[in-house]
Structure 1
Amino acid sequence: MTDVYLAYGRGDAAWTRELWNRLDRHGLRVFFDELVPPGATVVHTLEQAVRDTSAGIAVFGPGAQNDGWALTEYAALLRSCAEKGLPFVPVTYGGATIPPFARDWVWMDFGDPDAFDARAAELAHALGGHGARGDGVPERHVLTEPSRPLTEPARRSVVVCYAPADAEYGRRLVERVGAAGLPVWSVRSLRPGDRHVWTIRRQLRHATVVVVVMSPAAQDSEDVTRMILEGQWHERLFFPVLLDGDRHYLLANLWWADARTGGALDGTALAQLRRLHEAALTGRPVAPADVLPEPSAVIPSMHVPASVSLERLRAALAERETEHADLLTTSLLLEAADRLETGWLRRRDGAALPTALLAGVDALWSAATGGRMGFTAQRSRAPVAGERHADFLALSTGLGWRATADDAVPAYRAFTARAAGRPGFFPTLRNPRSERHMDWYDQWTRTVLTVHARLRDHGARS
């Protein structure tokens, strides 16, 4: 078995030969087809080498363009690495770009000839299992890939999320958390050969605490939005850090640490973070309110135009991120009623919900699911007659949220797993951010009844 299989276009042979030479000096066992002995059956040898390798490198240089053999070799190597969960590292040089089929993987750019030795050493170091960081991580890594089994990493970590524009502060924050003795992970921890989306999802699913750097850039970042939604779906604890501007609208009713002076977390905040991390590791998480005091200043959450929220909802539905779309729908309606900070709707808040907005949300859900989901599907399947708890129980059983009126409602992630094959299940209007409070069920009940009363009185498509 070899450590690495090296695929390339014939026009890039000279450059690839030098890369092989450098990797070989660093102790990697690299399969390079120029080393196939005379008389061997080349195709069979290559097929066996692809099957036996522990990682793959695909060189995308100027000589790979229009090379049909190279494209076939790339495809076979990528498929083998993806199926086995092995590192696959796209490598570029000479101004060549990464083709779309390989952009989901952390790549390395050898565009600077003077840095060839350093980049080769980093690549060898990473594929040798030493955890080198890849600087080729693109700024966008939106979570659109279908889920793979999200096995628990060797070490559960505090995950730090930030927008690319806040990368300098994010880097200092990661270093500060790490220096405090806490295991920490961010996108800078991605290594060459990692698969962006799967790796990020895995870290968020098994995070002890998700630290989010809040700023105007984070508010506009699709990546930060998706990472927050992923963390909410997996019911992770959040530790927001306000760097600039207002609070992120998806975290509006949570405590936050103040970093508006640009400084890293102080000793008190780090102690709070440590307590949350250790509680999550023991499986006996503490209530955040018992650890995190109220901030000294009142800062409003940032307003997101309805058009932006609807576009994010459209994108989530198009990408079949149903749970993300569900959470976005709840936040969108809470914001419309100016109730993000509290996280639920009262009866009198119904008047603040624009019927055009409800119609727009319903239309998106209906179009994305062939009419199986959305408010219209819910009303046709389980019309709400009044605003009592009995009406909510009838709605819950009618939509499959519970099997019977006596059935307990599980935590959000287990709850959404019930949706398979149940028309009208979404949107649920549940807010996982509020479900650490004793009265979360009553808040959910009131929110759902408020929205459905508005729908009943004015119609979802008026």
Structure 2
Amino acid sequence: MATSIPGRDRGRVLVELYLAYGRADAEWVRKLWRRLHRHGVEAFFDELILPGDSVIHSLEQALRDTTAGIAVFGPGLAGDRWALTEYDALLRSCVEKGLPFIPVTFGGAPIAPFARDWAWVDFADAGPGGEKFDHLVAGVVDTLRGGGTAAELPERDVLREPPRPLREPERRSVVVCYAPADAEYGRGLVGRVQEAGLPVWSVRSLRPGDRLVWTTRQQLRHATVVVVVMSPAAQDSEDVTRMILEAQWHERPFFPVLVAGRRHYLLADLWCADAHAGGPLGDGPLAHLVALHEAALSGRPLPEPELPSASAPSVFRPSGARPGRVPASFALKRLRAALAEREFEHADLLTTTLLLEAANRLQSGVLGRRDAAALSCDLLAGLDELWAAATDGRMGFRAQAAIAPVGGRGHAGFLALSTGLGWRVSADEAVPAYREFAARALGRPGFFPTLRNPRGEQRMDWYDDWTQTVLTVHTRLRECGVRP
């Protein structure tokens, strides 16, 4: 719905959005307003206020009545306290009413921290009056009109906040994840998937004003398949790591594509499409991706890749190929960040991965008795300290030992531990899938870390692997003196 703004022709101009900006950037904003007007969008621009009208009253009325907001971050914004107050009021109005809020930047100006949760439009390389300038404005207008065309948004890290309840998108898609450094290959891969007739989503699908975190989480939660472009850049990317962990938590099937370096350490036990030459995804792997998508939509068992014969060109790389490794200090930093943001499920998965990596067991995804010696006492104590510090001592290995100390190496010892920590309601209960299982942690001291490895839980013997891993770690903890 469009509304009228007092101050110009006394309420006869229909307005669809409010333009907030620093007064030193007025010349550039004036050009933006004119281009919006050419596209049929009437924006509230304070230069339209007629002489004699109350400026404060006009601004307040526009904020109450507008149906969308654009906050312009330009070089002239620095030190403009009035503009920052206006931005705050506009953002609050848009959030309270559920209206689109679109940050815009030009001239190399940064987006303020309070606005970084919204997908923004960067006019850095778009001179006013040029073709790219008009293209970006057209993308904004399409968003305001409820269209589906994405503007040219830069690849950027998006997952930085804890989860909220998420609605299922209108259509479930194949989600393609890649690091910004791999954007060129990622865009080509998205096009290849589209050519196969599959619905596909990537960060380039974000539209101006989308909530970066929640939109991405929503797509990952309901993805049919999560395609991960693996490279050294992806190995080091906080965002790719978070997206993988989010998809693992929701038990989404993965389709890794290796374009450089080694396999991502979080996907070390999975087969992957081999694209080391940097070429497009081959017909064989693409057919397998289509089969995965169709199986996920219908609820059928996921198919295994059809591996080539010894004489055929290799299109799939076996899980025996070496995964990439990250320094323990770097991995612990990621764990600390997840705990600080109260991403306990992510932290749980990272803890398991850290221990598997320490024992060089990422590819198998399970720890055995002979692996115990590879788990250093310093590492175990460090992990415990991180969990305890983030949860006021409610979680971690010491908290678990205080509630349910391990009394033996066999199934009976694991059963006593799992019932004591709330991992199962009773000895007879079947353990649910990871997402439902992790939801039990609320109000249960000692629940995390669980040492579950959802990637391997499609195997028939996953429960035995979990039992073996837990008993190995807790026996080693006792040897290291990690006790309540």
Regarding TM over 0.5, the answer is yes
How big is the alpha-carbon RMSD for the aligned residues of Structure 1 and Structure 2? 2.1
- Is 1:348 the counterpart of 2:370? The answer is yes
Normalized per residue, the structure richer in helix is 1
- Is 1:28 the counterpart of 2:41? The answer is yes
2:93 is paired with a residue of what secondary structure? Answer: helix
- Is 1:431 the counterpart of 2:453? The answer is yes
Percent identity over the alignment is 68
Q: CA-to-partner distance for each residue in 1:354-403, whole Å, 9 max, x for gaps? A: 11111111111111111111101111111111111111111112111122
**Which range is displaced more, 375-384 or 86-95?**
86-95
Question: Is the 8 Å Cα contact of residues 91 and 109 (structure 1) preserved in structure 2?
Answer: yes
Q: 1:149: how far off? A: 2.8
Selected match of 1:304 from 298, 322, 326: 326
2:475 is paired with a residue of what secondary structure? Answer: helix
Structure 2 CA distance for aligned equivalents of residues 140 and 415 of structure 1: 29
Structure 2 CA distance for aligned equivalents of residues 162 and 118 of structure 1: 25
Structure 2 CA distance for aligned equivalents of residues 83 and 146 of structure 1: 20
Name the counterpart of 1:245. Answer: 261
- Is 1:81 the counterpart of 2:103? The answer is no
Selected match of 1:102 from 106, 110, 115: 115
Question: Is the 8 Å Cα contact of residues 287 and 436 (structure 1) preserved in structure 2?
Answer: no
Q: 1:51: how far off? A: 4.0
**Which range is displaced more, 219-228 or 400-409?**
400-409
Alignment of 1:5-84 (within 5 A): 5-36=18-49, 42-84=55-97
Structure 1 CA distance for aligned equivalents of residues 92 and 472 of structure 2: 49
Structure 2 gap ranges (5+): 3-15, 309-315
1:90 is paired with a residue of what secondary structure? Answer: strand
Name the counterpart of 2:301. Answer: 286
1:89 is paired with a residue of what secondary structure? Answer: strand
2:145 is paired with a residue of what secondary structure? Answer: helix
Q: CA-to-partner distance for each residue in 1:111-138, whole Å, 9 max, x for gaps? A: 3425433432333233333333333435
Structure 1 CA distance for aligned equivalents of residues 96 and 220 of structure 2: 22
Instruction: Tell me: CA distance 1:96–1:265, structure 2 relative to 1, closer, same or farther (3 Å).
Output: closer
1:113 is paired with a residue of what secondary structure? Answer: coil
Structure 1 gap ranges (5+): none
Instruction: Tell me: CA distance 1:138–1:159, structure 2 relative to 1, closer, same or farther (3 Å).
Output: closer
1:246 is paired with a residue of what secondary structure? Answer: coil
- Is 1:327 the counterpart of 2:349? The answer is yes
Q: What is the count of residue pairs matched by the alignment? A: 459
Alignment of 1:219-238 (within 5 A): 219-238=235-254
Name the counterpart of 2:190. Answer: 174
- Is 1:123 the counterpart of 2:140? The answer is yes
Structure 2 CA distance for aligned equivalents of residues 238 and 384 of structure 1: 34
Name the counterpart of 2:420. Answer: 398
**Which range is displaced more, 76-85 or 262-271?**
76-85
Instruction: Tell me: CA distance 1:404–1:39, structure 2 relative to 1, closer, same or farther (3 Å).
Output: farther
Selected match of 1:207 from 216, 223, 233: 223
Q: CA-to-partner distance for each residue in 1:152-205, whole Å, 9 max, x for gaps? A: 111111000111121111111000000110001111111221121111111101
Name the counterpart of 1:149. Answer: 165
Name the counterpart of 1:161. Answer: 177
Selected match of 1:417 from 439, 442, 463: 439
Instruction: Tell me: CA distance 1:296–1:104, structure 2 relative to 1, closer, same or farther (3 Å).
Output: closer
Amino acid at match of 2:233: A
Structure 1 CA distance for aligned equivalents of residues 478 and 303 of structure 2: 37
Structure 1 CA distance for aligned equivalents of residues 301 and 67 of structure 2: 42
Structure 2 CA distance for aligned equivalents of residues 292 and 47 of structure 1: 63
